[in-house]
Amino acid sequence: MNKMKKILLIVFLLLAVGMVYLIQTRIGLEKFYQDVKYEITSRISKSKTPETQEETQVEQDSIPQGGYTLLEKFDNNLEPFPDNETALYTYYKFPFTKEFKEEERNKPMPDKLIVATMKPTEEDATTAFQMNMEGRLSDLVERGLRFRVGNCYENDKTDIYGNKPCVTCNIAVFTPNKADALKTIHVFPEYSYDFYYEENNFPKWKVTDALMNIPFDYKLYEETNDNLKQIGFEIQKSEMFKEE
């Protein structure tokens, strides 16, 4: 009997080591940990009472637009773009027009801008937006959706975020899929967002509306436009605007 127990124990240990090896080589332990934690968080959220669920919704869905929550806009395609090609042009190309550059020059800026030394990575930002949408961007992320991070600046409005480290970053939506791009910029049309850092939470970086103006990162959008062009993501020119 003892011999059988030893054999079973050895088999169990070998299986456990094999599982750890597969996780490490295929997806990485950190990614596995994040996926598991996200799944647990989602299940806990679904099991909450209506009262606590409403509180969580208000906390997570912190970027309301046009009287709707982001989830409502995403799920029901509320306030869709009247012209998809113009929408894409406006997001990716309008920053290089005379009109935008004039607006950028006249935009009020903080008295002192400090370049952030600690800022979210592209993966951090993508995870933050995905969590903000309660996982609704998962399929889009699998198809290549990324939130690219450009120049970031320290945000002194830390009291709003419970004195957590906060930065305001330039963000560019990148995806090889036009439909996914439209879906994403429909709910996240801004060029910059605030990210605040929570060391002991997942994800560590949370995203919300930008509370501070920062200079537009032309280099980020030049690179994004070049990359989109390289993969055949063509953006039609608009007669409404003239590029410089």
Q: What is the pLDDT of residues 180-203, one digit of tens each?
A: 999 999 999 999 999 999 988 888
36 lies in some domain: yes
55 lies in some domain: no
Reported as a single tens digit per residue, the pLDDT across 29-56 is 444 444 444 443 444 334 434 443 333 3
Reported as a single tens digit per residue, the pLDDT across 149-168 is 999 999 987 778 788 899 99
235 lies in some domain: no
In order of 77, 88, 133, 144, 159, the CA distances from 49 in angstroms are 27, 40, 20, 35, 30
Position 139 pLDDT exceeds 60: yes
Reported as a single tens digit per residue, the pLDDT across 94-112 is 999 999 999 999 999 999 9
Does residue 95 share a domain with residue 10? Answer: no
How much is the pTM? 0.72
Does residue 127 share a domain with residue 32? Answer: no
56 lies in some domain: no
What HEC string does 113-161 produce?
Answer: CCECCCCCCHHHHHHHHHHHCCCCCHHHHHCCCEEEEEEEEECCCHHHH
96 lies in some domain: yes
Does residue 75 share a domain with residue 43? Answer: no
Integer Rg of the chain from CA: 22
Number of domains in the chain: 2
Does residue 85 share a domain with residue 172? Answer: yes
Domain that holds residue 42: 2-47
62 lies in some domain: no
Query: How many angstroms separate the CA atoms of 220 and 170, rounded?
Result: 8
Query: How many angstroms separate the CA atoms of 135 and 194, rounded?
Result: 20
Average pLDDT, the chain: 80
Position 62 pLDDT exceeds 80: no
Does residue 179 share a domain with residue 106? Answer: yes
User: Checking phi first, is residue 27 left (phi over 0); if not, alpha (psi -120 to 50) or beta?
Assistant: alpha
Q: How many CB atoms sit inside 10 A of residue 201's CB?
A: 12
76 lies in some domain: yes
Does residue 109 share a domain with residue 35? Answer: no
Does residue 221 share a domain with residue 113? Answer: yes
Does residue 135 share a domain with residue 23? Answer: no
Does residue 42 share a domain with residue 82? Answer: no
Does residue 186 share a domain with residue 144? Answer: yes
Does residue 83 share a domain with residue 186? Answer: yes
Does residue 174 share a domain with residue 78? Answer: yes
91 lies in some domain: yes
